[in-house]
Amino acid sequence: MDKAFVKKMKKRLEEMKADILRQLVAEDEEFRSMAGSNDTKDLVDVASNDIDKKLLSALGAQELRKLKLIESALTRIQNNKYGICLKSGLPIPKERLDAIPYALYRVEYQNELDRMRR
């Protein structure tokens, strides 16, 4: 993998990481304010707040998973392993990395994994 491309991807991954961290902090602040304002006695409002809390929690879990993948990609950059498929050991095409900078696998193996998970 050429150094200029890896440098570009590193910068992009770091920006993605910063965006996710900002988003998680904002969601956490919103979650705390909702949890603290549960002084209503209306059951519909309580149920609605509960659903909102669960939704925020689920969104946070998805973002945390993405954050871990980004951090893993940054570690692979440090170890000169970025852009190498974890299954085949072959290079991941630049087009795939442009689309998903934290990709772990080539498209063929990712499709296989997705089929097995269904």
Please check whether residue 6 is in contact with residue 83, taking contact to mean a CB–CB distance below 8 angstroms.
yes
Domain residue limits, the chain: 3-117
State pLDDT tens for residues 81-107: 999 999 999 999 999 999 999 999 999
Looking at residue 61, what is its pLDDT?
78
Whether 110 has a pLDDT exceeding 60, the answer reads yes
% of the chain with per-residue pLDDT over 70? 72
Tokens standing for residue 53: 């809390």
AA letter at 2: D
Whether 25 has a pLDDT exceeding 80, the answer reads no
Looking at residue 96, what is its pLDDT?
96
Please check whether residue 92 is in contact with residue 116, taking contact to mean a CB–CB distance below 8 angstroms.
no
What is the topology classification, in CATH, of domain 3-117? Four Helix Bundle (Hemerythrin (Met), subunit A) (1.20.120)
Closest residue by Cα to residue 27 from 39, 37, 19: 19
pTM above 0.75?
Answer: no
